[in-house]
Structure 1
């Protein structure tokens, strides 16, 4: 393993083991795919990007001291350093990074699906911790341990960052890690350097169609976690209540790993009833055929599914079943995941990360039983992302909420007014308030006893991207400041 300021050399042949390549006999100080960040003696991995191939930056990498270049095609011009061509440079990069920062934690579990990943990895970490295991979770919210939270931005970070983070967690004595595996991260081979002891599927619905060609490509990227990355003798947990679960279940069966299915149709854990209990829920069912019940201190039936997937992952990786089940009653929700953040005038205020059609629909459906009067929602849609979901989200909001305010999310380089208009075209009767702070303040001030407000789209994020600039902005802070001023 290498650390900042510590020079350790690696044989390039060892880092590229398993690629089929025959690199020259030389040693490197590490690997990097960012030509700007290359340090003297490192190997530069020239990876194809969405618009430009990494070999276009070979000269910059060489100027910064790169000792060799690893890529997937012969360069058009001599880069001035040894070149190694491999069939899949992305996978080679992930595996080389993993070897550089080895060893990794003994138990790593991966969670894929459209919604629920952040909650599940957090829940797995909490269950492991309750069972006396040193654990961490990695995902959209960041890297979280019992001691600290290091905020993050990407669901699945860069392969080098993943390898470094896992190596550092291992060095801290953490041997149990739960991490999110996004479709883009899987497609780009960012987690190919990780051996997963267990994997899980949550659900599948429209997302990232600005990146994937269609839903089939989106699904297939996620299935890779089950077909290519799970360890021999590992385990797979599948939420069989989702209509798209079969490709994941069949992939697990084909690999011959232990299969744990959860849900109303689950064989490992069968849900028999869910009864609201305040803002929590009482769940009864059968676990491996035995009757069980537990109280989940979270809102929404989807959180029951998330908790059971987490339970399956924890038990499959050594957590005592009885102790793990008991831990569910103490779970805390991930930040910005249908999180109760305050009350005003007898009305509850929730923040949720829902920025996709099904996620927004699920959040609103979960909160409807608590709204004895009006259900309010404030939301927008991100710019430079899948435009097709905007009218879908508008229709869902208009159909499921009583009062709808459409505002800005992260407009990025798109015209914010156009984004709002595309949502509102399918949301008759909705109100447009461009400034997100004003939209939240307006919604809170309008609340009456028995109302419920959902502020959707940004969840844990503490920024807003306008143009190419990231400004500080937190829904949590705006709610707190508004309530303080009332």
Structure 2
């Protein structure tokens, strides 16, 4: 419980003459209880302003709403009009749920957010800290806290701060979280007190929402321009698209943040060489102090290295601290659904599952598996419905470029016609095999695998459902793969 005027003072809005106590904050009109503050936010699918009357009837004491939205005459509820209610409600939530972990790191980028956040959490836990990560895989921690809400890359403005308070009450003081472009654009991370921010890479994705590449980049840059404080640590993959890198570095320079570049072109932490091994990869690294380290990680995939280097740069106190992380790297575990080994066939062919669902991610996935492929590399993938349609043929082009056999199938067609989606995908790889049913595609391909082959089933990763229309049907790539490998 908190006074309304304390919340208004915190967000620099005018206080009300008669102060009242707020018992809760919500964006969801169904959750309103007596004494709540309801944030009536305009949205793409529904408009919170349509539920103002309902909120008053259910006992809301105050309603945050955009300026110029009509408000009914009432003595039982206070209207709080403002220019940017999404931003304001995030700051209010940060004040209302005021317990936050002391050390917070946020990661943005097209690909690699989940893995980087998870590696940060793992390294902290290997150092015996209570730590958590928030993102596409939900809330993971080494405590008995169990999050049961919806899984979003970046939770909504209020849910995020509720989670932070709950984690703090479970003695978590180290947190890594994913910062999606949607979450940043919708001010969901505003109010956080992060000490470091990471940028993994930037390639095409979510243009159905952002409309063009520049708006997509600007949404992600909010993490550095508006949320990471002046002087904060800014870790960036130096090997990403150079035009994007230039704009990212400029934003960091303007905020006088501590830029830490990693990768083959890295200065804070440079990758000198990679040697693929049957059990993983051997790395040779050099720090800004010219210290060199050789270490073997038990993970396949070149992009895994980028994520590990970025994770170290974001949590290191300084250049000397890198040496403390090196002995921990052999103990890292792969993130579920990211280059996850699902099965080994009796003839030694291997099957992997990965979340790659953009052209760049698919290309990196296949390039990473190639050094470990002693015969043919097969890939099964599709494209989601009601999402950026422009990337569909581009994904197929990358698949055809790097795999020996390409199989196009369904992947969450949602409300679109799956046949039309596959046709659009196939424009990028006209000779690819098309098998509509995802389970059928997996079953048929597994039967064809020879010794030394690798099959990767891409696009869904950790997901547990196939969305057809508006219905989520139970479907797990790993379970399906193991079912058919077990029947050989």
TM-score, length-normalised on structure 1? Answer: 0.95
> Equivalents in 2 of 1:406, 1:159: separation in Å?
37
* 1:12 and 2:4 are equivalent in the alignment: yes
> Equivalents in 2 of 1:179, 1:253: separation in Å?
23
> Equivalents in 2 of 1:150, 1:305: separation in Å?
29
SS in structure 2 at match of 1:17: helix
Summarize deviations over 1:103-146 as a string: whole Å, max 9, x none: 10001100000000000000000111111211001110111112
SS in structure 2 at match of 1:284: strand
SS in structure 2 at match of 1:228: helix
In structure 1, the gaps of 5 or more residues are 1-8
> Equivalents in 2 of 1:157, 1:384: separation in Å?
21
> Equivalents in 1 of 2:344, 2:304: separation in Å?
21
> Equivalents in 2 of 1:240, 1:220: separation in Å?
18
SS in structure 1 at match of 2:221: helix
**C-alpha displacement of 1:434:** 1.4
**C-alpha displacement of 1:419:** 0.6
1:298-317 correspondence to structure 2 within 5 Å:
298-316=299-317
Contact 1:342 1:350 in 2 (8 A): yes
Task: Evaluate the alpha carbon distance shift between residue 247 and residue 79 of structure 1 in structure 2; reply closer, same or farther with a 3 A threshold.
Answer: farther
> Equivalents in 1 of 2:73, 2:409: separation in Å?
49
2:258 corresponds to: 258
Tell me which of 145, 151, 154 is aligned to 1:153: 151
**C-alpha displacement of 1:318:** 11
1:221 corresponds to: 219
**C-alpha displacement of 1:320:** 4.3
> Equivalents in 2 of 1:443, 1:100: separation in Å?
53
1:205 corresponds to: 203
> Equivalents in 1 of 2:256, 2:112: separation in Å?
26
Residues 251-260 or 89-98, more deviating = 251-260
1:330 corresponds to: 331
Contact 1:351 1:455 in 2 (8 A): yes
**C-alpha displacement of 1:220:** 0.5
TM-score, length-normalised on structure 2? Answer: 0.94
1:281 corresponds to: 281
SS in structure 1 at match of 2:208: coil
> Equivalents in 2 of 1:127, 1:329: separation in Å?
11
Summarize deviations over 1:14-60 as a string: whole Å, max 9, x none: 22334332142222111111112212210111112125532111012
2:298 corresponds to: 297
Summarize deviations over 1:358-412 as a string: whole Å, max 9, x none: 0111101111122222111111110000000111111222222111111111011
SS in structure 2 at match of 1:16: helix
> Equivalents in 2 of 1:364, 1:279: separation in Å?
18
1:59 corresponds to: 53
Contact 2:10 2:92 in 1 (8 A): no
> Equivalents in 2 of 1:128, 1:16: separation in Å?
37
2:114 corresponds to: 118
1:322-361 correspondence to structure 2 within 5 Å:
322-344=323-345, 345-361=347-363
Contact 2:37 2:64 in 1 (8 A): yes
CA RMSD of superposed structures (Å): 1.7
**C-alpha displacement of 1:468:** 0.7
Contact 1:463 1:472 in 2 (8 A): yes
In structure 2, the gaps of 5 or more residues are none
* 1:70 and 2:70 are equivalent in the alignment: no
> Equivalents in 1 of 2:194, 2:318: separation in Å?
11
Contact 2:382 2:409 in 1 (8 A): yes
1:48 corresponds to: 42
